[in-house]
Structure formats: structure tokens, C-alpha cells
Amino acid sequence: LLARWNVRVNLTGARSPGDRVRLLVAPVLPALTLPGAGRLIDVGSGNGSPGLVLALLRDDLRAVLLEPRARRWAFLREAARAAGRDDVEVLRLRHDEYAGPPAPTVTLRGLALPLSALTRMVEPGGRLLVFGGRPLEAGTFRREASPADPRELQVFRREA
């Protein structure tokens, strides 16, 4: 599905199945046990990694995927439907337009956002998982040990 959609929508530079696993699935695996069961919000879901990948690997997660770009939003809806995950909610919204309840876990990958912009989305005591990018300042969050290289995954907990 990803390869077919990638022809029309620039979802990833990964061309082979092996590259797609290496770039989109493998970086998510160290975080597989971090979210508790329940809701997860993925900000800027794009190609589905990490939010949709986590939801597909953990059927106890109810993911809310936020993606403002129409074609990527359509891809995510189709991917969730094709995977039989009717409980995955795909919203065509930016993070600052989301008005729903906060979640115990929020994820994002490759977005240059200050962590403070995400505070209201994370329940007090909840976790923020940041995939990729340079180390971030914690601000209203407390940095936790990461199960992976911090350049690949940074873990923060919102102060209660």
C-alpha cells in the first residue's frame, strides 16, 4: 500500500521493502513497550511512522493521527482501513487545531516544534516520544532515559 501511494504522494524516500522497514518500522521498535494501553496521539503522521506503526504492532493502542496535508491524510485513512483498524482515528488537523482530550502518550517524528506547543496534548504524567532530530530542551517536560540512541528517540514525561 505504501509503495503504491508513494508514487502519487511523496510519503518516503525509501524505495525497497527493506528500506521501508529500516526507515519506518525499525526506529519505532525500541519504543514498542513505552506507551501504556489506551490513547496515543501522533502529531504530523505523514507516512504513518511512528503512530500508525505503533497502532498496528499494539492492538491495545487507540491511535489518533493528526495530518493536515490532504493526500497524506487520505493515505493514512486508507492504511488504517486496509489494516482493519477502525479504532484508528485520522484527523486532518495541525497540532494547534486539535481540540480533543489529551492522551497518555504523544508521538512525533521529524517536526521542528517546541515541546511546549504539545503540553496540552499530553496528560499530566504522560509521555512524549520524539523520533529523530537533534536533542531538545525539556521545558515543561522531564527527560527520561531512552531505550535507543537519543538522536533516534527522545523520551519526555509531562510533570503532573
Q: Dump pLDDT digits (tens) for 65-120.
A: 999 999 999 999 999 999 999 999 999 999 999 999 999 999 999 888 889 999 99
Alpha-carbon distances of 31 from 72, 77, 156, rounded to whole Å: 23, 23, 12
Domain boundaries, the chain: 2-124
pLDDT at 24: 79
Q: Is the pLDDT of residue 14 over 70?
A: no
Query: How much of the chain, in percent, has pLDDT values that exceed 70?
Result: 88
The pTM of the whole model exceeds 0.85 = yes
Question: In the CATH scheme, what is the code of domain 2-124?
Answer: 3.40.50.150
Instruction: Please say whether the beta carbons of 67 and 60 come within 8 A.
Output: no
